[in-house]
Amino acid sequence: MAAKKRTRKTTAAKRSPSSKQPYDMALIQRGSRLRRSPFFDKTLEAGCRAYTVYNHTFLPSYYDDPVNEYWHLLKHVALWDVAVERNVEISGPDGFAFMQLLTPRDMSKCRVGQGKYVLITDEDGGILNDPVLLRLEENRFWIALADSDILLWAKGVARHAGMKVAIREPDVSPLQVQGPKSKELMADLFGDKVTTLPYYFFTRTDLDGIPLLVTRTGWTGEVGYELYLLDASRGGQLWDAVVKAGKKYNLRPTGPSDIRRIEAGILNYGADMMIENNPYEVGLGWTVDLDKPGDFVGKAALQRIKDEGPKWKLVGVEIDGKPIAFNMTKWAVLAGGRPVGRVTSAIYSPRLKGNIGYAMLPIVHADLGTELTVEHPDGRRHATVVKKPFLDPGKEIPKA
Amino acid sequence: MAAKKRTRKTTAAKRSPSSKQPYDMALIQRGSRLRRSPFFDKTLEAGCRAYTVYNHTFLPSYYDDPVNEYWHLLKHVALWDVAVERNVEISGPDGFAFMQLLTPRDMSKCRVGQGKYVLITDEDGGILNDPVLLRLEENRFWIALADSDILLWAKGVARHAGMKVAIREPDVSPLQVQGPKSKELMADLFGDKVTTLPYYFFTRTDLDGIPLLVTRTGWTGEVGYELYLLDASRGGQLWDAVVKAGKKYNLRPTGPSDIRRIEAGILNYGADMMIENNPYEVGLGWTVDLDKPGDFVGKAALQRIKDEGPKWKLVGVEIDGKPIAFNMTKWAVLAGGRPVGRVTSAIYSPRLKGNIGYAMLPIVHADLGTELTVEHPDGRRHATVVKKPFLDPGKEIPKA
């Protein structure tokens, strides 16, 4: 038995799409420690070739060459299992007050039925997460998380805060439907109720009786939606219904597109920003409302950082040389032969026909046009500080 | 370029050990989001075949058939990169008081230089983590974590606790050296100072100038140690020094042994216990000191659970049928044809010549000798509730 298990599955190219288990999960897991999304079995069936781990849960990474998936997203509809965006619910009589405490953004400007991109910061103004927040009721919020245990953070802050608040992980599993034809698909499935949603708004609906929220959000800079499945037991049903309706729009399951999100200037928590970074240095100062009433975690530190001016800046960079598939580590950036910063993300953009990415640099090296050297694993490369976003500045990704 | 990247590497069996990148990391990661241990490059060089993700960091899973690795651990010395056990440091004038608040265990019974196995619980008595704690000074503690962001939890609790405490992730990366010959290897490297350490004690030392703590701890039930590397930049050096000295004891790098830890009755956080579970139901009530002075997080809930008696119990089970390599999901357990609980871990023990594991069951189905049915993916199997640990009860794993 053990000897049988030891044998690795054949490579992706040789795998039959009808194979029961097209991906050898033992490459990423032994035992039941990691969680599976309600769509997991469907992603295996659909031929997912690689998974990563995000919020203790498997995230389908790609089914095909990510460049093919990128073009598909630009032309048709892409379906992503992003149930790894685990949600935390803040509710109770002091739900609003507690949410105001947790984020630098002013929640009084978020209506019920509206969403906001928010940061969660610690006492030093360091970024703990960058969720999409939904305001469900006056005192009830969901935050769809990047990869860190904000459930524990929020429960910890609440312990001595003296507020009446309940904090839990609700049964919510987002599924992204992105791409230019996603609007027509939504119209077919849900009608005007969904297609007239302004950016970052949401509505409660259902599909064949499957309870859903539909949000006008995404991680692409393309037109897109997220279906928040509200009953984990019906993940397979929802997947099948969307795939069926999407056939005429050439829908296919893909992984999240790093190429497209970098083109659009979107950040990836853990890569482009971490607890060590503050909102101002990563260009997210617009989410910090220092003048909102009351206290919030990190307020004093963020006021000081703003007054003094950030010392670092996450800039756009163009990197010369052969196409970069992606960076597996944060490559050193040199100025005058001396290491000064790090490339956090780098990728080849087929539309821009060049390598683009982000670098975290001291302010003195962050001016547009600054020439730098990047320590690529295959050798040094010339790079230049450029404006970001690289494409569609502000059109499809208004500040919301 | 993309087309080239798309091609999957050959299977493990065909890979050359001298290959620069024996494992295709793109199967688990695209981009720089996940962290690498200070020993990461060495584990790749040593031919690690699979990684999982733990505390946002790659954990080497296996280099060979895990059954071979198990026998090696029992007979020789096994070297595990467990730098994923990220540490959180609690310090400051109120460090002791805050640590008492964070864990149900009585820290007044832990001397400086001593360690303890502790639980971190939430307000409901739910288990958030089960780290090994080291008391470095009167007011300074490190906790080497299982897979959850206790850095965020601790910082959250501290926010309104009114204590003078500093919380951070220090530069500490544990490396486990386990197996019957590990004591001789430690004697060669460090002398009596280390080999006379009682179970769960530690000492500060160095190896070729590399700063270390050495602890008499491990995740095996075998004799074993952990080298806590205190300078991440020297991971490769430490690895090489240990490998070189270990040659005469037939040391080899392996993954953590699930077979051995299950035989020994050791639990795996995320699989065998989670936030939904309390210490009493998983057999860890002995780590809860309800009578210690002052409050701790979860005290009232745990007092109530103890008074009422737990409703569930994590039991040992023997499962009939063919050898089980491991369980990828938590299989349903039936009693009288009705689903009542879940198998959390299951594996074939080559020494016991049978399948062993744990199941979380309602108290009424948890008596020794209870006969149950397990929903194995290949069909139903008969199972019996048995005593745990399965081997070496208490000898090499005293309650510490």
* Per-residue pLDDT tens over the stretch B363-376: 999 999 999 999 99
**C-beta of residue B202 within 8 angstroms of C-beta of residue B214:** yes
Q: How confident is the model at residue A394 (pLDDT cuts 50, 70, 90)?
A: very low
Rounded alpha-carbon distances, angstroms, from residue A291 to A98, A295, A303: 17, 10, 10
pLDDT in tens, B318-373: 999 999 999 999 999 999 999 999 999 999 999 999 999 999 999 999 999 999 99
Give the model's confidence band at B24: pLDDT under 50 very low, under 70 low, under 90 confident, else very high.
confident
Instruction: With a cut of 50, say whether residue A210 has pLDDT above it.
Output: yes
In angstroms, the CA A225 to CA A190 distance is 12
- The fraction of chain B above a pLDDT of 90, given in percent, is 90
Kindly state whether residue B13 falls inside one of the protein's structural domains: no
A146 vs A128: CA distance, rounded Å: 9
Where residue A162 falls among pLDDT bands split at 50, 70, 90? very high
Q: Which residues are paired to A362 by β-bridges? A: A312
Cα(A22)–Cα(A316) distance, integer angstroms:
38
Q: Rounded mean pLDDT of A140-156?
A: 98
DSSP strand pairing (A332-335 vs A224-229): unpaired
A162 and A97 share one domain: yes
| B59, closest residue in chain A (CA to CA) | A28
Q: Is the pLDDT of residue B398 over 60?
A: no
Residues A72 and A94 reside in one and the same domain: no
Within 314-353 of A, beta carbons closer than 8 Å to B belong to 322-330, 344-345, 348
Q: What is the pLDDT of residue B11?
A: 38
pLDDT at A16 over 80: no
- Higher local confidence (pLDDT), A361 or B7: A361
pLDDT above 60: residue B17: no
Question: pLDDT tens digits for B82-91?
Answer: 999 999 999 9
B283 inside domain: no
DSSP A35: B
**Helix and strand counts by DSSP (H, E) for chain B:** 10, 21
Provide mean pLDDT across the span B386-400. 68
pLDDT of residue B240: 98
Same domain flag for B72 and B221:
yes
Question: Is B278 within the bounds of a domain?
Answer: no
Which of A191, A237, A192, A197 has the alpha carbon at shortest distance from A215? A197
pLDDT > 80? residue B399: no
Task: Determine the Cα–Cα distance for residues B251 and B238; give it in Å rounded to an integer.
Answer: 14
Give residue for tokens 């000191």: B289
For residues A96 and A145, membership in a common domain is answered with yes
Task: Give the amino acid at B252.
Answer: R
pLDDT tens per residue, range A247-286: 999 999 999 999 999 999 999 999 999 999 999 999 999 9
Work out the mean pLDDT of chain B and round it to a whole number.
93
Asked whether B59 and B53 are in contact (CB, 8 A), the reply is yes
Q: Same structural domain for residues A156 and A186?
A: no
Site from A21, A24, A25, A27 to mutate, B interface, most B CB atoms within 10 angstroms: A27
A190 and A80 in a common domain: yes
Q: Is B164 on the interface with A (CB under 8 A)?
A: no
Q: What pLDDT sits at residue A7?
A: 36
Looking at residue B124, its pLDDT comes to 98
Cβ contact A50:B345 at 8 Å? no
Q: Do B178 and B236 belong to one domain?
A: yes
Radius of gyration of chain B (CA): 21
Alpha-carbon gap, residue A263 to B295, rounded angstroms:
51
Q: Which residues contact B14 (CB under 8 A, 6 or more apart)?
A: none
Give me the number of domains chain B comprises: 3
Question: What pLDDT shows up at residue A390?
Answer: 94
> In this complex, is the C-beta atom of B61 within 8 Å of any C-beta atom belonging to chain A?
yes
- In-domain check, residue A115: yes
From residue B47, give the alpha-carbon distance in Å to each of A29, A377, B50, B243, B282: 17, 20, 9, 14, 36
Nearest to B25 among A11, A49, A328 (CB): A328
B160: which 2 tokens? 């309104």
According to the model, what pLDDT value does residue B7 have?
A: 36
- To the nearest whole number, what is the mean pLDDT of chain A? 93
> What's the rounded Cα separation, in Å, for the pair B133 and B112?
11
d(CA B217, CA A64): 44
Does pLDDT of A4 surpass 80?
no
Given this model, what pLDDT does residue A5 score? 38
A372 within domain boundaries? yes
Q: Angle at the Cα of B2 (from A397 to B4), degrees rounded to 5?
A: 165
DSSP string, B173-242: EEEEEESTTHHHHHHHHH-HHHHTPPTTBEEEEEETTEEEEEES--SSSSSEEEEEES-GGGHHHHHHHH
Q: What is the DSSP letter of A138?
A: T
Closest by CA position to B107, among listed A40, A108, B46, B115: B115
**Is B208 within the bounds of a domain?**
yes
Q: What is the pLDDT of residue A9?
A: 39
Look up the domain containing B232 and give its range: 19-85+172-261
Pair B110, B219 in one domain: no
In 3D space, the residue among A60, A58, A76, A64 whose CA is nearest the CA of residue A15 turns out to be A64
Q: Are residues A202 and A325 in the same domain?
A: no
Quick check: is A300 in a domain?
no
Residue of B nearest to A270 (CA): B33
Residue A118, Cα to own-chain centre: how many angstroms?
Answer: 12
Size of interface A-B (CB pairs under 8 A): 211
- Residue B257 gets the label, from left (phi > 0), alpha (psi -120 to 50) or beta, of beta
Smallest CA–CA separation between A326 and chain B, in Å? 6
Report CB contact under 8 Å: A123, B27.
no
State residue A216's pLDDT score.
97
Residue that is last in its domain, among B168, B193, B211: B168
pLDDT above 60 for A208: yes
Q: What is the pLDDT of residue B25?
A: 86
Per residue in A98-117, pLDDT (tens digit) is 999 999 999 999 999 999 99
Q: What is the ipTM of this complex?
A: 0.94
At B392, the pLDDT band (50, 70, 90 cuts) reads: low
**Token pair of A139, please?**
């005192």
* CATH code for the domain in which residue A248 is found: 3.30.1360.120
Segment A284-312, tens digit of pLDDT: 999 999 999 999 999 999 999 999 999 99
Instruction: Provide the 3-class DSSP secondary structure of residue B304.
Output: helix
Identify whether residues A61 and A202 lie together within a single domain. Answer: yes
Rounded to a whole number of angstroms, the distance from the CA of B65 to the nearest CA of chain A is 6
Q: With contacts defined as CB-CB under 8 Å, which chain A residues touch B56? A: 147-148, 270
C-alpha distances (whole Å) from B291 to each of B133, B296, B299 are: 20, 11, 10
Using the beta-carbon criterion (under 8 Å), do B50 and A61 form an inter-chain contact? no
Count CB neighbours of A258 within 10 A. 24
A154 to chain B, any CB pair closer than 8 A? The answer is yes
Domain ends where: A168, A190, A218?
A168
Q: What is the CATH number of the domain that holds A95?
A: 3.30.70.1400
Question: Which SS3 state, helix, strand or coil, does residue A33 take?
Answer: coil
Q: Tell whether the model's pLDDT for residue B20 goes beyond 70.
A: no
| Together in a domain, A37 and A76 | yes
Does residue A19 have a pLDDT over 80? no
Q: What is the pTM assigned to this prediction?
A: 0.94
Return the bridge partners of A347, or none: A356
Q: Which residues pair with A137 in a beta bridge?
A: A140
CA distance to partner chain B, nearest, from residue A4 (Å) = 9
pLDDT of residue B329: 96
Cα B311 to chain centroid, rounded:
26
B339 beta partners:
B334
Establish if A56 touches chain B: CB-CB under 8 angstroms.
Answer: yes
pLDDT tens string B78-133? 999 999 999 999 999 999 999 999 999 999 999 999 999 999 999 999 999 999 99
Q: Do B31 and A327 touch (CB under 8 A)?
A: yes
Residue B279 belongs to a domain: no
Q: What is the pLDDT of residue A258?
A: 97
What SS3 class is residue B60? strand
Final residue in a domain of this structure, among A168, A203, A228? A168
Q: Are residues A73 and A182 in the same domain?
A: yes
Nearest CA in chain A to B40: A329
- For residue A159, which residues of chain B lie inside 8 Å, CB to CB? 123, 156-157, 160-161, 297
Instruction: List the CATH number of the domain containing A377.
Output: 2.40.30.110
A319 vs A354: CA distance, rounded Å = 7
Give the H/E segment covering residue B2.
Answer: helix B2-6
A49: closest chain B residue by CA: B27
Q: Are B29 and A328 in contact (CB under 8 A)?
A: yes
Instruction: Provide the token pair at A70.
Output: 């990128």
